[in-house]
Amino acid sequence: MTLTHDGPELVELQDEQQRREWQSFVLSDLPEMISAMHVCHAVRAVADTPLLERLRSGPRRIADGLLAGIDPAIGTGFLRYLVQRGILETQGEEYGLTRLGEFLTTDVSLARLGVYIDAYGAVTSRIGDLLTGKAVYGKDVIRDGAALGAHCDTLFTTFHSPVVSQAMRGRGVRKILDIGCGGGQLVIDACLRDPSLTGIGLDISPEAIEVAGDLARRSGVADRVRFVVGDAFAPKTWPTECLEADGLCIMSALHEHFRNGEQAVVDLLDEIAEMFPAQKILLVGEPEIRYDGRENDDDFFLIHVLTGQGLPRDRSAWFDVFAKSTLHCRRVYTRPGAGPRICFYDLTTSGEQRKSGNPDDIQL
């Protein structure tokens, strides 16, 4: 079609094949997906730079230092992009977070995003290589243990610490051991709640242990907690100090042992039961996968597949595992409306088994 107007002649060219190609792309929804991907990276960048703190304290002008320490050309363009995406709004020369911007940057939103981008980004960006064996998880590709620890800390303290608190109530635990402690939040929260409690956290990731030690210092409980690098699945190698614990927790870590087969998990539970005869509680928290697209469930599934972790399973499958061990599940705590969706199993040695067959089910 040829259009004429005051300026130079404008020639618009279209043909059927080109139109169909473009329609295929547009109808694929990829334009929205690509935008969503960039919004995720942009939100992380807002949080990783001083921008978030500045924006959280209210609308601000560039002239008042909004971009201090940030490349002015990139920064100005970036702010404009954030406005286009509805994350920021302007009033005069001031930039402020919209309601969407606030929701995207809550601590929980950033932690959930951080698990997928910071902790597992190096893994999900290599799916092809992992599929073809060009890269092997654990050797050429690893998740970021420090990022995983820090983001799990945020999610744990927001959603799951109250469950640990409720489960431990009245048990008289004096020293808590968190096996696969990540960034250490469980032990730290428990010690903050009870000034007479001491704790030890153990994790295979030195980076996570560093995050945990740092958090303990910042939380003022460093004199009562210790974090050590160790293999959760080899209890005989744990520092002897661990054996002083009378309250044990394993949160979102035990399923990783399924990569060694179900019997390995049963044996580990038995070994722990034998090594800690005086335990007052053994609380196992495990995510439940729904195998659907809700609330990142499929993303959660994917990272477990790619990292060769034993897949988390639903509670009935866990009951089967417990039934094969010397432990008995006396109570199950669930926490609807939290993520990741975790089921907490309160295990006891067989000697203390409840008379009735099924565990109590407590929704918090």
Ligand X SMILES: C[S@@+](CC[C@H](N)C(=O)[O-])C[C@H]1O[C@@H](n2cnc3c(N)ncnc32)[C@H](O)[C@@H]1O
Peptide bond into 287 cis (omega under 30): no
- Which among 210, 245, 246 is positioned nearest to 228, based on CA atoms? 210
**By the 8 A CB rule, do 119 and 144 touch?**
yes
- Three-state SS for 287? strand
CB of 56 to ligand X, least distance (A): 25
AA letter at 292: D
Cβ of residue 251: shortest distance to ligand X, in angstroms?
3
Q: Which residues contact 128 (CB under 8 A, 6 or more apart)?
A: 134
The distance of closest approach from Cβ of residue 148 to ligand X in the complex, given in angstroms and rounded to an integer, is 6
Structure tokens that stand for 318 in this block? 């866990």
DSSP string, 197-248: -EEEEEES-HHHHHHHHHHHHHHT-TTTEEEEE--TT-GGGS-GGGGG-SEE
State in angstroms the smallest separation of the CB of 214 from ligand X.
15
Which residue in this structure is represented by tokens 């432990």?
A: 327
Toward ligand X, which CB reaches closer, 59 or 339? Answer: 339
| Residue nearest ligand X by beta-carbon distance | 182
At its nearest, how many Å lie between ligand X and the CB of residue 44?
Answer: 19
**The pair of three-digit structure tokens given for residue 135, joined into one six-digit string:** 């890269």
Site for ligand X in 146-175 (CB under 6 A): 148-149, 152, 156
Q: For residues 136 and 153, what is the distance between their CA atoms, to the nearest angstrom?
A: 28
Nearer to ligand X, 293 or 308 (CB): 308
Nearer to ligand X, 181 or 245 (CB): 181
CB of 42 to ligand X, least distance (A): 26
Is the Cβ of residue 55 or residue 163 nearer to ligand X in the bound state? 163
List the x/- string, 246-275, binding to ligand X by CB under 6 A: -----xxx--x-------------------
| Residue with smaller CB distance to ligand X, 46 or 251 | 251
Question: Taking CB under 6 A as the rule, does residue 208 contact ligand X?
Answer: yes
- Residues that bind ligand X (rule: CB under 6 A) add up to a total of 19
Element (H, E) at 201: strand 198-203
Q: Minimal distance in Å, beta carbon 234 to ligand X?
A: 8
Hey, which residues between 5 and 64 contact ligand X (CB under 6 A)? none
Q: Is the CB of residue 215 less than 8 Å from the CB of residue 184?
A: yes
Nearer to ligand X (CB atom), residue 118 or residue 203: 203
Whole-number Å distance between alpha carbons of 32 and 146: 31
**By the 8 A CB rule, do 200 and 222 touch?**
no
Which of 59, 101, 121, 145 is the binder for ligand X (CB under 6 A)? 145
Per CB under 6 A, the list member of 59, 114, 121, 180 interacting with ligand X is 180
CA distances from 198 to 50, 176, 194, 247, 339 (A): 36, 6, 9, 10, 28
- State which of positions 214-233 bind ligand X (CB under 6 A): 231-233
Element (H, E) at 95: strand 94-97
- Closest approach of Cβ 158 to ligand X, in Å? 11
Shortest Å, Cβ 110 to ligand X: 15
Segment interacting with ligand X (CB under 6 A) among 36-44, 94-102, 178-186, 260-268: 178-186
What is the rounded radius of gyration, in angstroms, for the C-alpha atoms of the chain?
25
Q: Does 322 bind ligand X (CB under 6 A)?
A: no
CA distance 303 to 215: 26
* Residue of 59, 66, 65 lying closest to 94 (CA atoms): 59
Q: Which is nearer to ligand X, 87 or 251 (CB)?
A: 251
Q: Comparing C-alpha atoms, which of 106, 81, 152 is closest to residue 300? A: 152
Fill in the per-residue mask, 101 to 140: x = in contact with ligand X (CB under 6 A), - = not in contact.
----------------------------------------
With CA atoms as reference, report the closest residue to 78 among 110, 107, 52.
52
- CB of 318 vs ligand X, minimal distance in Å: 16
- Considering the rule CB under 6 A, would residue 347 count as an interface residue with ligand X? no
Q: Which residues bind ligand X (CB under 6 A)?
A: 145, 148-149, 152, 156, 180-182, 203-205, 208, 231-233, 251-253, 256
